[in-house]
Amino acid sequence: MKIGIVILNWNGLALLQRYLPSVVLYSQEHTVYVADNASTDTSLSWVKEQYPSVKIIAMDENRGYAGGYNVALRSVDEEIICLLNNDIEVTENWLAPITRLFKSDDTIAAAQPLLLDDKRRTHFEYAGAAGGYLDRLAYPYCRGRIFDQVEENHQQYSDSTQLDWASGAALFVKKNAFLEVGALDEAYFAHQEEIDLCWRLRHAGYKIAIATDATVYHLGGGTLAALNPRKTFYNFRNSLFNIVKNDHSANWLGILFLRLLKVIALWYES
């Protein structure tokens, strides 16, 4: 089972210089792609010079996370595709547990490895930790991370359990299932697209899983810092998109109303 590892990049030369070497080194039986969102730095020339084995998918404009990957993934032939952030260091044999996981169950359409913090390697990383879930109001959280509280990793999440969503920082997905449910929603532009995608995959009868014996280290905030107002806007708006699009229960409108009440209460408190 071959994997196409697609790294989306936008003006990320410093991140590529730091993190691409581990991806190339530990993915030699598979294909590594850099999908470039019309960078204006020297990212592409550096990749071509330093890593000629890496395939380049160059776009003529910045299409964001969703649009960039939608264009790129249609150019990739592998059955399993990894959407990998450009600020992730991978580890030796990181792909073997992933391939075993997909081979173990044909209904698994998406998966993630264990995400640890590159800045504090004893701890889980905010963006994915040990797998994603949604609470009753459709707020996303992770095993190993609730809101901004992140746990130290003591192998307490060693089971390869089913998830509600897998992190877009290192998201493995079957290409045919990805296209079947309509790819990533480009209206999101950035943030929570993977939650929407995984929700749609689950509606289609597929499973979302985690290979906890595969580990990567994520820097986080490589493109937008945690307190960047654009990031706050996209996360808030897209979380509401997820409810409207994917909550097929009779309570979806009430959930949306409660979420908005909570925002109003927080605004008054501030």
Nearest to 215 by CA among 82, 115, 123, 118: 115
Alpha carbons 30 and 242: distance in angstroms, whole number: 33
Alpha carbons 102 and 97: distance in angstroms, whole number: 9
Alpha carbons 80 and 238: distance in angstroms, whole number: 26
pLDDT of residue 214: 96
Q: What is the residue-wise DSSP string for 136-170? A: TT--EEETTEETTEE-B-SS---S--B-SB--TTE
Alpha carbons 170 and 183: distance in angstroms, whole number: 16
In this structure, are residues 182 and 127 in contact, taking their beta carbons and an 8 Å threshold? no
pLDDT of residue 103: 97
Nearest to 6 by CA among 74, 71, 81: 81
pLDDT of residue 226: 54
pLDDT of residue 250: 84
**Cβ neighbours of residue 240 closer than 8 Å, sequence gap 6 or more:** 256, 259
User: Between the CA of residue 234 and those of 16, 169, 187, 211, 267, what are the distances in Å?
Assistant: 25, 16, 10, 28, 17
Based on the number of CB atoms within 10 Å of its own CB, is 51 exposed (0-12), middle (13-18) or buried (19 or more)?
middle
In this structure, are residues 196 and 238 in contact, taking their beta carbons and an 8 Å threshold? yes
> Which H/E stretch holds residue 7?
strand 3-9
What is the pLDDT tens value at each position of the chain, 270 positions in all?
A: 899 999 999 999 999 999 999 999 999 999 999 999 999 999 999 999 999 999 999 999 999 899 999 999 999 999 999 999 999 999 999 999 999 999 999 999 999 999 999 999 999 999 999 999 999 888 899 999 988 899 999 999 988 789 999 999 999 999 999 999 999 999 888 788 999 999 999 999 999 999 999 999 999 864 445 556 777 788 888 888 888 899 888 887 888 788 788 777 767 776
pLDDT of residue 154: 95
Residue 4 backbone dihedrals phi, psi, to 5 degrees = -100, 115
pLDDT of residue 51: 98
